[in-house]
Structure formats: C-alpha cells, structure tokens
Structure 1
Amino acid sequence: MIQQPETKIKQIRELKNFTQEYMAQQLGLSTRAYSKIESGETQLTINRLNEISAILQVQPMEVLGFDDKKVFNFYNSSDINNVKNMNVPEKLIQQYEETIQALKEQIAVMKLLMEK
C-alpha cells in the first residue's frame, strides 16, 4: 500500500517551487480544494494523480515512490551555527573541486593579463 501520497505530492511541489495556488490554477480548482488534496481531506484518484504528475513533470509512479530521504539526507554533527552537514555524493564534491580549481586558474591568468 502506498503511504501518504498527498505528502509526497507536497514535497515534490515544494522542490519544484510551485505554490498551491499555481497547482490549483493548473488543475482548474480553488486553492482550498487543492489544499484538501495535499492534506488528505480529499481522496486522491488515479485521474487526479495523473493530472498532478503532469504538472509536476514526473511520472505518477515517481510521485508514489518519492522518498525525500533520497533527495535530502541531513544528519546532525557539531551543528556549528545551526548549519547541518549534508551527505553529498563524492563524485559531486569532486566536480565542484575541479570547477573551483579551474576558476582559480582562470583568475590567475586574468590577473596576469591585467598586470600587462
């Protein structure tokens, strides 16, 4: 059984920076009617799930299988200044480090050109 599809819809909507007002407008509903879908007050039908999925630009099964823990994996460490460490894949860190190094090299070249 799929647990809390309305919560999953809300999480994906928020990740896409869509408002409830926007979703309601796209569905031809009042904001309150859409809000009832996300709160679970209105039962989600297959047809409505398909419509919502289309607006969110994801497949219905992706909505139902959405796991926010796979998107955001926060854990407490020393909590310096209330900032939590995020578990970032090693490959992404490497890409950022390579980009930073390339930018540093470009800055050095630009400084040399400016000195001439």
Structure 2
Amino acid sequence: MTTLGTKIRKLRELKNFKQDHMAELLGISTNAYGKIERDETDVSHDRLEQIAKALDLTVTDILNFDEKMIFNMMHNKDGIYNNGGPFYNQFPEDLKKLYEDKIKLLEEKVEYMQREIERLKEGR
C-alpha cells in the first residue's frame, strides 16, 4: 500500500512542483515539508486540506491516488497509451489532465533529446 507521503510526492511531481514551492505555499520550511513526503510526521486533516488546495486537488483525490492503477488503466493490453481504457472516465478530470499533461511533457522531452542527439551526431 502506498503511503500518504508517497502519494503527495507523486502528485507534486506530476504538477512539476518543487518541494520548496510546496513548503512556501504551506507556510512551512522545506525540511518540514520533506518530512511529510517521507512520512516522518503525522499530517493533520487541516494540513492535508492545505496540501490538496496547493495541488489543486481534493483530499479525496490524494487519498485515492494510486499511480499503478491509473497507469495500467490508461494503457491498453499492448502497453500503448490510448487515452482511455474501461475505467478512464471514472477518474476526476483534474487527475486525468494531470497525467495527460505529464505524458505530453515527457513526449516533448523525448523529441527534444532526439533532436539534440541528431545535432551532436552531425557535429553542429
């Protein structure tokens, strides 16, 4: 079972937020925020609501987050992203958008790296 801290970390990473940005939004030190993600401190309901607000999610979204389940549901049996799957429409729109944006960003990075490799091969 994925811990609360891990869920928060994964969702923060999907938003492309740094720990210091989250800490600033929450009004705590980066070290204190890191302890939340490492499950070294208990998270009150109020703090969890603050984290959800900072991530533009709900507390329920955070608590129900399961990256493996979502990842598997967004891929067909051949492992190819198909923007759906039998349960795709059951996820909150903001969570679907979060994953779609992250996938798009990664695809753009791959394209950029491929262009850079070609440029370096040509000696430019």
Q: Same fold (TM over 0.5)?
A: yes
Q: Which runs of 5+ in 2 are unaligned?
A: 86-124
4+ residue runs over 2 A deviation: 70-74, 85-90
> What are the equivalent positions in structure 2 for 1:7-46 lying under 5 Å apart?
7-46=6-45
The alignment covers a number of residue pairs equal to 81
Counterpart-to-counterpart distance in 1, 2:70 and 2:23: 25
Question: Counterparts of 1:17 and 1:70 in 2: how far apart (Å)?
Answer: 21
> For structure 1, which runs of at least 5 residues remain unmatched after alignment?
78-84, 91-116
Percent identity (aligned): 41
Return the alpha-carbon distance in structure 1 between the equivalents of residues 16 and 7 of structure 2. 14
Task: Say whether the 8 Å CA contact 1:36–1:42 is kept in structure 2.
Answer: yes
Greater C-alpha Rg: 1
Tell me the distance in 1 between the aligned counterparts of 2:61 and 2:42.
19
RMSD value, Cα: 2.3
TM-score, normalised to structure 1, is 0.61
Name the TM-score, length of structure 2 as normaliser: 0.58
Show CA shifts across 1:36-93 (max 9, x none).
000000111100000000000001011000010233237xx8xxxxxxx544337xxx
